[in-house]
Amino acid sequence: MQKIALTDLAIKRFPVPEKTTYYWDKNTPGLGLRIGAGGARTFLVLLGSGQRHTIGRYPSVTLHEARGEARRKLGELALGRYRPESVAFDDAKALFLAACQSRNRPRTIADYRYHLNRHFKFGRRQLASISPQEISRVIDKLAATPSEQNHAYVTLRVFMRWAVRRHYLAHSPLDGMLLPSKRPARERVLTDDELKAVFITAANTSYPFGPIISLLVLTGQRRGEIAALRWEWIGETITLPASITKNKRQHSFPYGQAVKDVLASLPSKEEYLFPASRDHVRGKPTTIFNGWQKAKVEFDKRLGIAPWTLHDLRRTFSSNMAALGVAPHITEKLLNHVSGTVSGVAAVYNRYAYVPEMRAAITLWEQKLESLVR
């Protein structure tokens, strides 16, 4: 344990570390300063073995105030009045997912639930007893699937930071851990032959994954938006509410005959196009499709092309629009991009919907796809 006489000057001069670093005050037993990799400086007090209580961030909390609070907490501990709040991992997980309902998209919540349930099976273990080493072992086992590894890491990091804010933990066990797999920005655009293979394989793949892939190819929308589709959003155009779009803006776009054919083939005619499970009491769907990893692996076995991601379909859609002579601002409207050709003041005052132009672009795209599969 590194001890130093904490002063305001010393606190300001401490360098920003590559990973979270702790300094412990020589003059006030138990008082520490945590400096994160981003430079944030936070006071805390050590209350017994491994029990760290966050006091507050410097300089909002002064050194003098931190020393007073540390002495008070240690005094309460000595008198038996202080008991750190404890919570089981599963209980905290349930509270976390419930709290997400008011601020996150359904797709995000479904992803959080999937990764926490699949990879982090700590059950009734007390949250504070889970060590960084245990978490590292779980994440290291996912090295063969870098994308899954990164998503699992990010999900647990969000969960643990929430637990710190709720005072279930004094600090996150992921402090100092870096993203496991640094992946370069993708630039993959499917060739016509690859696109043809994906489109034909999707047409011959059972519900729900086959139709989802078909709609991703035909519309260029994000996978979470297609998986979350409800019948009430589909009319002359498909209208996605702001609650499920990435940029939090309502998005309406036209579609052609090929999309109509896919929609007509779907077995679900109730609320969701792609429900995942049902409430057996009310008989209604409770979640949307989220079995991406397993379904994609099986799909790729039948497909036989170079590695690709579902988001590559969106990039392929955009690139083909350019090749077909579609104006960039029309492609942006179809993809619900906020920044780009129409931005700034023009974006504020230009309220024209471009529906006829978007419909013409979709017609060109469906004609291109039809020519590929003939």
CATH number at residue 48: 3.30.160.390
Mean residue pLDDT of the chain comes to 87
Instruction: State both tokens at 214.
Output: 């078909």
Percent of all residues in the chain with a pLDDT value above 70, rounded to a whole number: 89
234 & 108 share domain: no
pLDDT at 214: 98
Residue 128 maps to a domain: yes
Write down which residue in 165, 182, 212 finishes a domain.
165
Name the pLDDT band for 280 (thresholds 50, 70, 90): very low
The SS3 call for residue 56 is: strand
Under DSSP, the state recorded for 19 is S
Residue 221 maps to a domain: yes
Instruction: State both tokens at 97.
Output: 């997912």
C-alpha span between 3 and 22 (Å, rounded)? 9
155 & 202 share domain: no
142 & 197 share domain: no
Residue 176 maps to a domain: no
93 & 67 share domain: no
The SS3 call for residue 354 is: coil
Half-sphere exposure of 246 (CA within 13 A, CB side): 11
270 & 312 share domain: yes
Lowest mean pLDDT among 55-69, 219-233, 337-351: 337-351
222 & 278 share domain: yes
What does the chain come to in residues? 374
Residue 177 maps to a domain: no
Closest Cα to residue 359, out of 320, 329, 328, 330?
A: 330
C-alpha span between 356 and 362 (Å, rounded)? 10
pTM above 0.85, yes or no: no
Residue 81 has pLDDT above 70, yes or no: no
Residue 186 maps to a domain: no
Lowest mean pLDDT among 49-63, 81-95, 165-179, 186-200: 81-95
Name the pLDDT band for 85 (thresholds 50, 70, 90): low
The residue-averaged pLDDT of 319-338 equals: 93
Q: Determine if the peptide bond prior to 184 is cis (ω within 30°).
A: no
pLDDT at 282: 45
Lowest mean pLDDT among 311-320, 337-346, 361-370: 337-346
204 & 347 share domain: yes
Instruction: State both tokens at 170.
Output: 């004094």
Degrees (nearest 5) of the Cα angle 15, 18, 22? 65
pLDDT at 180: 83
Residue 227 maps to a domain: yes
Write down which residue in 150, 165, 180 finishes a domain.
165
Residue 366 has pLDDT above 80, yes or no: yes
Q: Looking at the DSSP assignment, which residues form a beta bridge with residue 33?
A: 23, 43
Lowest mean pLDDT among 18-22, 75-79, 131-135, 146-150: 75-79
pLDDT at 183: 61
66 & 96 share domain: no
Residue 271 maps to a domain: yes
Domain count, the chain: 3
Residue 374 has pLDDT above 70, yes or no: yes
Q: Which domain holds residue 324?
A: 192-373
Residue 182 maps to a domain: no
Residue 154 has pLDDT above 50, yes or no: yes
pLDDT at 287: 76
70 & 96 share domain: no
C-alpha span between 107 and 225 (Å, rounded)? 8
CATH of the domain at 299: 1.10.443.10
Lowest mean pLDDT among 81-85, 274-278, 363-367: 81-85
pLDDT at 80: 62
Write down which residue in 78, 104, 133 finishes a domain.
78
Q: In the chain, how long is the greatest CA-to-CA distance?
A: 82
pLDDT at 86: 65
Return the H-helix or E-strand segment holding 279.
strand 275-279
15 & 105 share domain: no
131 & 273 share domain: no
* Cβ atoms within 10 Å of 342's Cβ, excluding its own: 19
Q: DSSP string spanning 123-186?
A: TTSBGGG--HHHHHHHHHTTTTSHHHHHHHHHHHHHHHHHHHHTTS-SS-TTTTPPPS---PPP
Residue 281 has pLDDT above 70, yes or no: no
Q: Looking at the DSSP assignment, which residues form a beta bridge with residue 4?
A: 25
117 & 210 share domain: no
Return the H-helix or E-strand segment holding 42.
strand 41-46
